[in-house]
Every structure is written in structure tokens, then in C-alpha cells.
Amino acid sequence: MKTRHAALPVIILAAAILTGCARGPSPTGLGLYTNVKGSVTATDKTGSKKGVACAQSVLGLVNTGDASIETAKKNGEIQSVASVDYETTGSYPFYGKTCLIVTGS
């Protein structure tokens, strides 16, 4: 019986450490499952090219990727940016992925 109570501080510590992990920007806040799209910026320019750059997080312990505007421009061969949007998906606190989507010419 005493060993069961000894595990409680470990569980609380683990929950505190994992709080905020594996999530990207979201105007809706934190959820167990996230699938959100939003706008970052837009200009008066137009273009039909599209470039995407992503970064992901696993438990907030392993974070990889390059979700920069420059990488998305390079991936879409874009010289002049028309808009930048983002898409965030994930299952809290296990996995999260955020992608920047750049359009332009």
C-alpha cells in the first residue's frame, strides 16, 4: 500500500514535465487532438507556387525539422512571397507537427 503512494510524486512530476510538449501555435489552445490551420501574413502579391516546411515534436524530447519561411520558399522555388499560412496537427502530449505553407511566384 505504501509503494502505491510513493509513485504519486513521480506521476505528478512526469505530468508537469510533459505539460506543453508536442504542440505548435494554435489560436484555439491546447487539446488532446489538434488539427488547426491559420494565417501568418499576406501581401498584395499573387502567385501559383507553393512551398511547405515542417517541424515535429515527439513528447517534447525529440524535436526535428525546419519550419522556416526561407526553407518553404526554397522548397517551392518561390522568389516573391504572397502569403504564409500554418497548419498544426498532433495528439497531446505525444506528437505535434507544424508546417508553414508559403505561396508566391
- Report the C-alpha gap between 59 and 101 in whole angstroms: 24
- pLDDT (mean) for 63-80: 95
Check pLDDT > 70 for residue 74.
Answer: yes
User: What residue segments make up the domains of the chain, in order of their start?
Assistant: 2-104
Asked whether the beta carbons of 35 and 58 are under 8 A apart, the reply is no
How far, in Å, are 6, 12, 19 from residue 2 at the CA level?
6, 17, 27
State the pLDDT at residue 64.
Answer: 94
CB atoms within 10 A of CB 56: 18
How big is the chain by its Cα radius of gyration, in Å? 18
State the pLDDT at residue 22.
Answer: 46
How confident is the model over 5-21, as pLDDT tens digits? 666 666 655 554 554 44
How confident is the model over 21-66, as pLDDT tens digits? 444 455 555 568 888 888 888 888 888 999 999 999 998 889 999 9
State the pLDDT at residue 23.
Answer: 45
Residue 20 DSSP class: T
State the pLDDT at residue 43.
Answer: 83
State the pLDDT at residue 21.
Answer: 46
CB atoms within 10 A of CB 64: 9
State the pLDDT at residue 6.
Answer: 64
